[in-house]
Chains A and B, each alone.
Chain A
Amino acid sequence: NAGVTQTPKFQVLKTGQSMTLQCAQDMNHNSMYWYRQDPGMGLRLIYYSASEGTTDKGEVPNGYNVSRLNKREFSLRLESAAPSQTSVYFCASSDWAGRGGEKLFFGSGTQLSVL
């Protein structure tokens, strides 16, 4: 069982270049998320998709766009990369844990450097 699969694992971009981070989950989860993790700042939500066909902004959406392609896939696009977008990006999907809320399952992450 692969869980949440992210590609690529590493990427180096020049300022102004564009790229798309791919994410797929095989757990039949409805909700998917993109987080970024910076040193000393924890994980911050960029965008999320509560269900297929819907997307919404999180805490730090500027400079990003997302596409929920189908129930399995949720991609994150950087249209014009900036050095401030250098970070580790995690895709996640979630499973309903009852009254405890949603349990997140994370992909292995993408280390992105923007020069």
Chain B
Amino acid sequence: QKEVEQNSGPLSVPEGAIASLNCTYSDRGSQSFFWYRQYSGKSPELIMFIYSNGDKEDGRFTAQLNKASQYVSLLIRDSQPSDSATYLCAVSENAGGTSYGKLTFGQGTILTVHP
């Protein structure tokens, strides 16, 4: 049984701070890693994905991957109240060359950014 674990939170940070969200996974064959944001009552939307060890930056968001430790994280710099949402970590075993992928999701971390 492949597992993806997240701290369910809630994680509360002040506006302007860095929010750090963490995720561990059990399957060493996992190849691609995704962060989805889900506002209350809405559907998940993709923020970032990463497949190589190290950091990947996109605006205020940085994804970090350490395959040896089976660990992936998401940093949100200059956090805003509009970042308040549930953040879902998802893992895919699909390495490429096929036309589909199945994701295993963590339970999500609730982030609250207070003014």
Contacts and interface: CB of A to CB of B under 8 A. Distances in A.
Interface of A: 30-31, 33, 35, 40-45, 48, 50-51, 58-59, 90, 94, 96-109
Residue from B36, B42, B49 having most chain A Cβ neighbours under 10 A: B49
24 contacts: A33-B102, A41-B107, A42-B4, A42-B88, A42-B107, A43-B103, A45-B104, A48-B100, A51-B99, A51-B100, A96-B99, A99-B51, A99-B95, A100-B49, A100-B50, A101-B32, A102-B94, A104-B44, A104-B46, A104-B103, A106-B45, A107-B43, A108-B42, A108-B43
Given A42-B106, A101-B92, A90 B43 contact: yes
Nearest to A43: B105
Contacts of A43: 44, 88, 90, 103, 105
Contacts, number: 81
Nearest to A50: B100
A31 B99 contact: yes
B80 interface: no
A59 B102 CA distance: 10
Interface in B76-99: 88, 90, 92, 94-96, 98-99
Nearest to B50: A100
Interface residues on B, range: 20 to 34
B101 interface: yes
A97 B51 CA distance: 11
Contacts of A99: 32, 51, 95-96
Given A102-B94, A106-B43, A42 B102 contact: no
